[in-house]
Structure formats: C-alpha cells, structure tokens
C-alpha cells in the first residue's frame, strides 16, 4: 500500500503535535522530516518508526482498521501478537529510561561526593 507524505502530514497534525516535536522524537532534523513528508511514497520503515514514537497504531496512518475477517484466525492472531510485542517494547523503553535516570542520579551523587572528599580538611 502506498502512503504519500501529504496524507501522513495531515494525520500527524491530527495528533496535535508539531512537526518540530515529531522530528525531535524521531531524532532527525525538521528539514529531513519535511523531505520525507513531501515524498510521493513514504517508506514503511519510516511509518513504523513514526507509529512507535507517536504511540499510534500504524493502521491509524493508513486509514485502515485491523483486519477482522472471521475466517482468518491466523491474521487476527498475528495482529494480537504484534500488538503484544509492541507493548512489551514500550515497557522495555520505559524501563531503559528509568535506568538511565537512575544512572544519571548516581553519577551526579558520585561527582558531588568526589568533590567533597577532595577538599583539604581544616587543621584544628
């Protein structure tokens, strides 16, 4: 399925987030994002990354709903597994951020302790 940048840009606006913020979330420049959104055909890898960063289902951007064919249980199962995998990835991302904050706090505490211990003591 082809997704053009113009439609994608409209969907991003509906999310209530600026393109500058989206670029920051993706770790790219705003100009690079504009280039991607001006393309006639958006790469699937970009769409997947965007979906994850904006915490939106990829189907949101494709104007589609999850496949719900009653006689296609394999598709339904795969979709469920993918959603569960995405949720686990989000949880791991959150955990990693918590660990980074803890490490940052420990480094700051260690730096402060090192500065304090290097001061000459007053003689009595």
For residue 27, what pLDDT band results from cuts at 50, 70 and 90? very high
Rounded to two decimals, what is the model's pTM? 0.49
- The pLDDT of residue 71: 45
> Is the pLDDT at 76 greater than 90, yes or no?
no
Query: Look-up: residue for tokens 């997704």?
Result: 3
Please answer whether residues 79 and 73 qualify as being in contact, where contact means their C-beta atoms are separated by less than 8 angstroms. Answer: no
């Amino acid at each position: 399925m082809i997704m053009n940048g113009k439609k994608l840009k409209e969907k991003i606006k509906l999310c209530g987030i600026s393109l500058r913020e989206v670029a920051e979330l993706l770790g790219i420049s705003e100009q690079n994002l504009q280039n991607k959104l001006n393309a006639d055909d958006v790469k699937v890898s970009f769409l997947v990354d965007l979906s994850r960063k904006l915490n939106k289902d990829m189907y949101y951007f494709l104007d589609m709903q999850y496949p719900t064919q009653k006689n296609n249980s394999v598709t339904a199962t795969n979709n469920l597994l993918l959603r569960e995998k995405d949720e686990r990835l989000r949880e791991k991302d959150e955990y990693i951020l918590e660990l980074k904050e803890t490490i940052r706090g420990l480094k700051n505490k260690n730096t402060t302790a090192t500065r304090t211990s290097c001061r000459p003591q007053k003689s009595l």
